[in-house]
Amino acid sequence: MRQFIEGLPKVELHLHIEGTLEPELMFELAKRNNIEIPFASPDEVHKAYQFNNLQSFLDIYYQGANVLISEQDFFDLTWAYLQKCHQDNVMHTEIFFDPQTHTARGISFDTVVNGIHSALIKAHEDLGITSHLIMCFLRHLDEESAIETLQYALTHKDKIIAVGLDSSESGHPPEKFQRVFQLALSEGFLTVAHAGEEGPSSNIQDAMTLLGVSRIDHGVRCVDDPKLIETLQVLQMPLTVCPLSNVKLKVFDSMEEHNIVELLHQGLCVTINSDDPAYFGGYMTDNFHQIALTHPVESKELAQFTRNAIKASFASESRKQDLLRHLEGYLVQGIH
């Protein structure tokens, strides 16, 4: 099964680039930029990655991002992730970035976007990986800061396809960002939002109604509302689910209790993603594998996660056809 999963063509739709900062690179960048970090070795960083909930992770994740200063740093971070994509047969990826984490430290929006974007271009040229960038607003910050961030994005419209919403879900519901999302939509950006990760299932419905989202990030709390499940099924609203993240942040007590396979069987458009792989212990192959180890799934069901992700992606129709052809080609090889 592991061999089948490794070779399976994949599409990633829920990945925070700041969450791909491996401890080894964190140390290298801290040295390069003369920044003090409260750890003696990469091993000590790994040991610190024990989380009780979303907030305990976010505290350490924002601290880690402090080592990112120059365009080269953002390039190196992104390039390292894209090499993991290549290893895991991720053929298309849609990447979140959090500009406010960096602009608040005096790093310019241009530095962040240009560094990430040059790595994406190189990955297309050298590895054939296609991608899109999604700019997230930090929901614990206010509307004014989100609007200011959207203004920066207008000068990089050619590089950013959508806006999203991440950070602390509790106490920061979708309606707080209704106006900025309407503005983003009117400027031609697509929208997505984290909802129903730690927050209530009503956030999922509100993200659809108030923020006009094309996908829900996480969304696993939808099971609390049977009517919502029906809506998600009828609309085929994609959910970008992140198994390892959900267990690390205690959204589920164990991988066995994760509901992604149940949602797949109910006909929802669910996908598998890695969220913040450097912090949660695994990239795409590992996330697929963890589900396969703990749930009775057949290879055709694992392939369905990729089929759903292709359908849910913001790739062009021709790229979607191309990705589907790769997937079907892999499945008929019958080596598994």
Q: Is 94 in the site for ligand HPA (CB under 6 A)?
A: no
Q: Which is nearer to ligand HPA, 140 or 320 (CB)?
A: 140
Residue list 265-324, contact with Zn ion (CB under 5 A)? 275
- Tokens found for residue 259: 């509901």
Q: How many residues does the chain have?
A: 336
CA atoms within 13 A on the CB side of 115: 23
The site partner of 167 among ligand HPA, Zn ion, none (C-beta below 5 to 8 Å per kind) is: ligand HPA
Is the Cα torsion angle 65, 71, 73, 75 positive or negative in sign? positive
Tokens 């979303």 belong to residue: 54
Q: Is 274 in the site for ligand HPA (CB under 6 A)?
A: no
- The reply to whether 194 sits in an annotated binding site is yes
Rounded Cα distance, 202 and 227, in Å = 11
* 197 part of the active site: yes
Residue list 187-226, contact with ligand HPA (CB under 6 A)? 194, 197
The site partner of 197 among ligand HPA, Zn ion, none (C-beta below 5 to 8 Å per kind) is: ligand HPA
Q: Which is nearer to ligand HPA, 19 or 115 (CB)?
A: 19
Q: Which of the following is catalytic: 12, 94, 197, 198?
A: 197
Residue list 53-72, contact with ligand HPA (CB under 6 A)? 54
3 state SS of 50: coil
Query: Which residue has the CB atom at the shortest distance from ligand HPA?
Result: 166
What is the per-residue DSSP string for 186-248? HTT-EEEEEESSSS-THHHHHHHHHH--SEEEE-GGGGG-HHHHHHHHHHT--EEE-HHHHHH
Q: Which is nearer to Zn ion, 69 or 248 (CB)?
A: 248
- Pick one of 9, 19, 219, 238: the residue that binds ligand HPA (CB under 6 A): 19
Binding residues for Zn ion, rule: CB under 5 A, are 275
